[in-house]
Amino acid sequence: MSRIEVFSTPHRALRYAFGELTTKAGTTDFTNRQDVLDLRLRMHEVFTLVHSHSHHEDDICFAELDARCTNATVYDRNEHTRLHETLDELMARITGIEACVAIGQDETAAGKELYMELCLLHGEMLRHMMEEERDTQPIFWQYMSDDELQAFEHRIMAAMSPDLTMKWLTYILPSHTHNERVMMLAGAQSGMPAEAFNAVLSLAESVLRPEEYANVKAALCMVEVPMSI
């Protein structure tokens, strides 16, 4: 019997987000002000998700696990601190590049360095997330029931603003299977006001391929399950 996985949904979204981000950085014209602005905004969006995810892990999931298994998550917490320092450094770097491009400087060389640093960060994020799934997830299973693990999702959702939830869905929906999308959206449909759910559907239409969105729309009427994010 499969167990509840604490990390699966946000990690899949972040893997997708970083793939999109590094691709965007690699195609950015660092002499073009709009291109650089677009990259900075994308970096800010993705890094915001990383920060929010780490804080939810530290303050909700890891706090509960450490109370039952002392210091079980010390390594993961330290990795969060280290990775956040890199995120802040790279945001400062793109802000400086943007300022230079705004006054007409060619920042191609600096942009290439930034791109390489983003690729290294991407690799570090992949390694970190895999370590949590491989090493920390089994400790959750050892010390906590599935009901307790499921409760994390509800607490995390309650802690997020609507805007942050929509940012997460931007990367969650395209990084999951058709059946998983239907389950998520059916749960949202049953638990959200019509206006809010229509906004989620509009977001889904904007981030999924046309055939993917059409298939989800066709399936929504057949499934009613709790949302899983």
Q: Give me the torsion for CA of 38, 85, 120, 73, rounded to 10°.
A: -120
pLDDT at position 223, please?
56
pLDDT at position 226, please?
43
Name the architecture of domain 8-160.
Up-down Bundle (1.20)
Phi (first) and psi of residue 12, to 5 degrees:
-65, -40
pLDDT at position 172, please?
98
pLDDT at position 191, please?
85
Question: Taking Cα atoms as reference points, which of 22, 55, 56, 45 lies closest to residue 170?
Answer: 45
Question: Is the Cα dihedral 193, 199, 203, 206 positive or negative?
Answer: positive
User: How does pLDDT run along the chain (229 residues), one tens digit per residue?
Assistant: 789 999 999 999 999 999 999 999 999 999 999 999 999 999 999 999 999 999 999 999 999 999 999 999 999 999 999 999 999 999 999 999 999 999 999 999 999 999 999 999 999 999 999 999 999 999 999 999 999 999 999 999 999 999 999 999 999 999 999 999 999 999 898 888 999 999 999 999 999 999 999 999 999 986 544 444 4
pLDDT at position 227, please?
41
Residue carrying the six token digits 């060389």: 109
pLDDT at position 222, please?
63
Distance in angstroms (rounded) separating the CA atoms of residues 88 and 90: 6
Domain ranges of the chain: 8-160, 176-229
Distance in angstroms (rounded) separating the CA atoms of residues 93 and 225: 44
Neighbours of 74 (CB within 10 A): 11
pLDDT tens for 149-181 read 999 999 999 999 999 999 999 999 999 999 999
CB 161 within 8 A of CB 42: no
